[in-house]
Amino acid sequence: MDEQLFFKKLNNLCTSKDIFYFLSSLEVMSDTMAARALQRISEVEVDDNGLKNPALLENDVFRALCFQLEFESSKLSNTGLLNALQALIKLCVDPQSTLMTSLLSESEERLGRGQLTAENLCSLGESLLEMEGPSCATLEQIVNHMQERDIERWSPREVVMVYKILQVTAREGKQCQNLLNRLNSVTFRTVSQLSPNFTSVILNSLVVLRQTRAVLLVTALCKHSVKHVPYFTDHELVNVLEAFLYFGQKLQIFTEALERHVPGSILTMHPQTVSKVMHYCCKKMILSKPIFDAVAEGFISSADRLTTDQIATYIIPFGTLNYLPPSASSLFRKLEAVLHTRLRHFQPHTLLNLLHSCVLIQHYPINFLPKIFSPYFLQKLQAQPPGLNRVVMSQLTQLFLTVTLECPFYEGPKLLSKYQVKACPMPHSSPDVHLFKRVKTGLLYLLKKRIYFASEVSTPNFYVVDIEIKLDEEGLVLPAAQLEEVHRRIALCVDGQNRFCAHSHNLLGEEAIKQRHLQLLGYEVVQIPFFEVESLHNTRKMADYLHRKIFPCTYGLG
């Protein structure tokens, strides 16, 4: 049969059964036709989940195709040889088989003789990268041949393939920074031409190759990725989010693109992708209500199919960013049901992080606290990294304090004193230095003497108060050092931007629970948020504001 007619008929067949029937009707096939037939079989039989029907590898027609290619590989065109190699890799044929060995050997010989075009080099490089344990020497040889051509004229496909190869050679301890610098420069000029897949692959390569100095390229790729958000596969979106995290990128337009995409895709997204989206929001302190509301609904419907790590990654951001979605009651009912059936499957630190995040937003895991405070569980915490470090002990202490202050009906085991800490060092608890200084200056102007307030006061109950003011029974301010006749204590919480979600007036969970607990401990909590004082440009205005906030009953009386 004429080759062009063969290719036309082959392309119209959509199952391996039809392809095998068609091939068995032919008396003879050229090697190029046999290679194209293999390629078509791989196209119809391989999807995102791999090979649909492994039994086809035992089919007599398939075996005859392989036999022909194995013994006639030297007669194949470059394109036919490399197409056959790619098809066999997709079909999961054993790399150690005589067929694969024959095709690889022939490919490497032609590479060594310099017979492969740029397109051929790309195909061979991609095939080798898909195989387990590719030959580093062969990959380097491909790159060397590529460099003989003007790098400025490389296509995006060639650029992507070289980035992938450099990832492999870097794992072998070989860095080619000079080539990378040239590659980064060329890629920067072609960013606007990159497909969703190429954008994701290059960002992933830059992370693996630790290209922290390629700031212009990374920024351009991150901006370019915004328009591709609806078209990324799950794996590609995960790569992009990891790059945003690694390089410290945060773009409002990227968040907005996620907000448009995630809610409508939540039920079809892979749970690991949803987890990465939530992890990204949590790390960047982005409280996106459309995303969080959608994830809450997704959790309610799919929690039973999630791994324990995914469960934690879905839920922890709600506590960290201090947000209760409209479906909160159903969300936490579902979480409790999952915990009841799968509690023993959680790693100790994962379980502690999960339950701690719940109490930040006033959902109390009473039924599970006896396990957390048990000596056996605490020993397991200590035995696994990071062990019982200060952050872990602070979480335990805060859980215990929550039970004491907010759940007086709890009658289970208590947390032993040796596991409690005297202060809770939370990541965002330190006051904003500049704002703190302005508030103290305003207070000094208002109260006339520095002795009337104390800053960064450690309480007996684990919290540090930013500024404490003591009053007697008549409401007069007492010296901060005085211990007797103290009738009221005022805790000023000087809340800089670091204590709020990004671009928001929503307090983070760790600050919200602190202010809640200070009130339960008898303090009058007065919040001084950054957004209320950023427009007060002189000390007198700040003092006037503080007077109104702290002593509203006497404000305006002179």
Which own/partner pairs from 425-428 qualify as long-range (CB within 8 Å, at least 24 positions apart)? Answer: 425/390, 425/391, 425/394, 426/394, 426/510, 426/511, 426/514, 427/510, 428/498, 428/499, 428/508, 428/510, 428/511
How crowded is residue 416: how many other Cβ atoms within 10 Å of its Cβ?
12
Q: What is the pLDDT of residues 417-453, one digit of tens each?
A: 999 988 765 666 778 899 999 999 999 999 999 999 9
User: Where are the alpha helices (H) located in 15-71, listed in sequence order?
Assistant: 16-24, 31-45, 60-71
Residues paired with residue 458 on neighbouring β-strands, in sequence order = 464
Distance CA 29, CA 39 (A): 15
Would you kindly state where each structural domain of the chain is located, as residue ranges? 1-115, 148-249, 433-550
Percentage of the chain beyond pLDDT 70 is: 97
Report which of residues 144 and 315 the model is more confident about.
Answer: 315
Average pLDDT over residues 100-114: 90
Average pLDDT over residues 328-354: 96
Q: What is the pLDDT of residues 506-530, one digit of tens each?
A: 999 999 999 999 999 999 999 999 9
Sign of the CA dihedral 149, 154, 157, 159?
positive
Decide if pLDDT at 134 tops 60: no
Average pLDDT over residues 22-30: 87
Distance CA 289, CA 323 (A): 8
Decide if pLDDT at 50 tops 90: no
Decide if pLDDT at 558 tops 90: no
Question: In the CATH scheme, what architecture does the domain 433-550 have?
Answer: 3-Layer(aba) Sandwich (3.40)
396 contacts 420 by C-beta, under 8 angstroms: yes
Under the banding of pLDDT at 50, 70 and 90, the label for residue 141 is: confident
Total number of residues shown for the chain: 558
Q: pTM of the prediction?
A: 0.86
| 493, amino acid identity | C
Decide if pLDDT at 172 tops 80: no
Decide if pLDDT at 471 tops 80: yes
Report which of residues 558 and 19 the model is more confident about.
Answer: 19
Average pLDDT over residues 92-103: 88
Under the banding of pLDDT at 50, 70 and 90, the label for residue 3 is: confident
Rg (CA), the chain: 32
Mean pLDDT of the chain: 91
Q: What is the pLDDT of residue 514?
A: 95
Q: What is the pLDDT of residue 557?
A: 56
Average pLDDT over residues 106-132: 86
> Cα–Cα distances in Å, from 333 out to 243, 358, 428, 471?
35, 12, 30, 44
SS (H, E, C) 227-268: HHHHHCCHHHHHHHHHHHHHCCCCCHHHHHHHHHHHHHHCCC
Q: Does the N-terminal peptide bond of residue 386 adopt cis geometry, omega within 30 degrees of 0? A: yes
The helices-and-strands tally (H runs, E runs) of the chain is 26, 7
Q: What is the pLDDT of residue 95?
A: 85
38 contacts 88 by C-beta, under 8 angstroms: yes
Structure tokens at 488: 């009221």
387 contacts 381 by C-beta, under 8 angstroms: yes
Under the banding of pLDDT at 50, 70 and 90, the label for residue 325 is: very high
Q: What is the pLDDT of residues 204-229, one digit of tens each?
A: 999 999 999 999 999 999 999 999 99
Q: In 312-412, at which residue ranges do the beta strands (DSSP E only) sit?
A: none
Under the banding of pLDDT at 50, 70 and 90, the label for residue 202 is: very high
Q: What is the pLDDT of residues 403-418, one digit of tens each?
A: 999 998 998 899 999 9
Decide if pLDDT at 68 tops 80: yes
Average pLDDT over residues 107-111: 91
